[in-house]
Amino acid sequence: MNHRKWVLAAPFALLLGPVPALGQALPIETIDQEEHVSSLGIDTVTPALAVVVANQVAQANEDGSEFISATAANGLGFRIQFEACDETAREGCKAMLLLAVWEAFPAEFQERLSESVSAFTREQPMVSAGTLEDGSPYVARYVIADFGTPQGNLVSEFANFVQTATDFHNEVVSTTASE
């Protein structure tokens, strides 16, 4: 899986719509958790995402592919990239990649970081974690919804990812940098 292709495209991102005001996540009652979402895209996942995070901004890469930049209440920033899309690439996607990336570590920390990442992935088999070529640690989760999914499942996916990425930060990123 090539995470760099769109992480590096971030400087070329453009804003697609209005930016929501900084604030709090919405109450779970604002969505119908049983409502079936037939495909994944900005318009279909934003209601569930708004229940989990305080801010989200829809953006596009230079090639027109859309993604969401989100910030959880604890300050964790992550991105949602839509994958396996039909030709319109706006809706009709059957998968999404949730990805959090931290600043690169200096070369002298890379061995320790690699050991910490390996230990974390043994404990958290539902995510992928590693380091990019520049030494930046990342954690990712690929969500597949070939036949759609209920809004409530999306809330769970986002909430679980925020918790897992927060654990990654606390167990790997913070401790590696402070040792």
133 lies in which domain range?
4-178
Question: The domain spanning residue 107 has which CATH number?
Answer: 3.30.1460.70
Number of domains the chain is built from: 1
Residue type, 76: L
Rounded CA separation 54/138 (Å): 21
Rounded CA separation 84/3 (Å): 15
What is the predicted pLDDT for the residue at 91? 63
User: Which residues make beta-bridge pairs with 140?
Assistant: 99, 128
Query: Mind listing the pLDDT tens digit of every residue in the chain (179 residues)?
Result: 333 333 333 333 333 333 344 568 888 899 999 999 999 999 999 999 999 998 999 998 888 888 999 999 999 999 999 999 887 655 689 999 999 999 998 888 889 999 999 999 999 988 999 999 999 999 999 999 999 999 999 999 999 999 999 999 998 888 776 66
If DSSP codes are grouped into helix, strand and coil, which group holds residue 116? Answer: helix
Compute the CA torsion angle 165, 170, 171, 174 (nearest 10 deg): 120
